[in-house]
């Protein structure tokens, strides 16, 4: 069994999932892949079944209901620990995170506890419509100011965990839902004095399928930011 697990959560990604699995296998040799799908009505699960026949390192779970990103990532983290993986890489399924960058995460995790890929770190690049880009930049600057964490992007899923070094950290402690889950997990890592290494990535705008981010997500995140800052223990 591989010592590395690459994870992504899917919902209606039939036009991206095959390319994702192929690119992960091209650039991340000797890694297993875990996909958790929330019963996508577009047939993503059917494609995963077909891909499994050709990719023995692919493992997938089809959940009966749309249970959300946070529960999928918590499950993947626990799954990686229980099955003896040393490193866990998480990423989006829409190819906005380039699998070609995965080896960089894996190599850095030899010496570091946690690695986060950021389009806003020095050297990072981003393809996004200007209105979304503006809101994202402002939102992340507000989070950085309030939480006082030396990081430039808080809600990205492109992350690497050295599970052997994070042996006392558990994502089940994170209470926030949706994309706020990613912000709070960084907060918990920082609060427990774990190292956060931010590296630049190239964030690409999706070319197939539709974004799943609700328009009100930024307001949910800011609400959860206030709760974290003033009421979290």
CB 18 within 8 A of CB 82: no
Q: What is the pLDDT of residues 41-73, one digit of tens each?
A: 999 999 999 999 999 999 999 999 888 899 999
CB 96 within 8 A of CB 13: no
> Nearest CA to 4 among 158, 155, 107?
107
* Percent of the chain predicted with pLDDT > 70: 90
DSSP 167-204: TT--GGG----TTHHHHHHHHHHHHTT---EEEE-EE-
What pLDDT does 149 receive?
A: 93
Q: Rounded to whole angstroms, how far apart are CA atoms 79 and 56? A: 17
* Percent of the chain predicted with pLDDT > 90: 72
pLDDT of 228 over the 90 cut: no
Q: What is the pLDDT of residues 129-163, one digit of tens each?
A: 888 888 889 889 999 999 999 999 999 999 999 99
Q: Rounded to whole angstroms, how far apart are CA atoms 179 and 105? A: 21
pLDDT of 230 over the 70 cut: no
pLDDT of 11 over the 70 cut: yes
What pLDDT does 229 receive?
A: 64
- Whole-model pTM: value is 0.91
Q: What is the pLDDT of residues 73-106, one digit of tens each?
A: 999 999 999 999 999 999 999 999 999 999 999 9
In 22-149, at which residue ranges do the beta strands (DSSP E only) sit? 31-37, 58-62, 87-90, 114-118, 125-126
Q: Does the structural domain 4-231 have CATH classification 3.40.47.10?
A: no
> Using a CB cutoff of 8 Å and minimum separation of 24, what contacts does 39-47 make?
39/63, 39/64, 39/65, 39/66, 40/10, 40/11, 40/12, 40/13, 40/14, 41/12, 42/12, 42/13, 42/14, 43/14, 44/10, 44/11, 44/12, 44/13, 44/14, 44/17, 47/14, 47/17, 47/18
Position with higher pLDDT, 166 vs 135: 166
pLDDT of 215 over the 60 cut: no
Q: What residues does each domain of the chain span?
A: 4-231
Of 61-65, 108-112, 206-210, which range is least confident?
206-210
Q: Which helix (H) or strand (E) holds 9?
A: strand 4-10
**Burial level of 97, CB count in 10 A (0-12/13-18/19+)?**
buried
> Nearest CA to 166 among 104, 232, 86?
86
- Cβ neighbors of 124 (< 8 A, separation 6 or more) are 118, 200, 201, 202, 203
What pLDDT does 193 receive?
A: 94
């Amino acid at each position: 069994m591989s010592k590395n697990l690459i994870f992504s959560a899917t919902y209606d990604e039939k036009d991206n999932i095959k390319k994702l699995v192929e690119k992960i296998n091209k650039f991340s040799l000797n890694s297993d892949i875990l996909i958790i799908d929330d019963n996508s009505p577009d047939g993503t699960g059917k494609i995963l079944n077909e891909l499994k026949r050709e990719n023995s390192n692919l493992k997938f779970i089809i959940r009966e209901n749309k249970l959300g990103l946070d529960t999928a990532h918590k499950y993947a983290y626990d799954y990686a620990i229980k099955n003896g993986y040393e490193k866990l890489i998480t990423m989006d399924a829409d190819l906005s995170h380039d699998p070609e960058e995965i080896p960089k995460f894996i190599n850095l995790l030899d010496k570091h506890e946690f690695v986060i890929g950021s389009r806003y770190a020095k050297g990072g690049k981003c393809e996004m419509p200007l209105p979304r880009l503006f809101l994202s930049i402002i939102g992340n600057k507000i989070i950085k100011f309030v939480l006082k964490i030396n990081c430039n992007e808080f809600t990205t899923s492109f992350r690497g965990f050295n599970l052997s070094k994070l042996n006392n950290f558990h994502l089940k402690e994170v209470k926030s839902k949706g994309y706020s889950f990613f912000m709070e997990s960084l907060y918990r890592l920082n609060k427990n004095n774990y190292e956060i290494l931010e590296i630049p990535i190239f964030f690409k705008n999706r070319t197939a399928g539709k974004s799943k981010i609700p328009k009100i997500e930024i307001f949910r995140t800011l609400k959860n930011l206030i709760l974290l800052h003033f009421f979290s223990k």
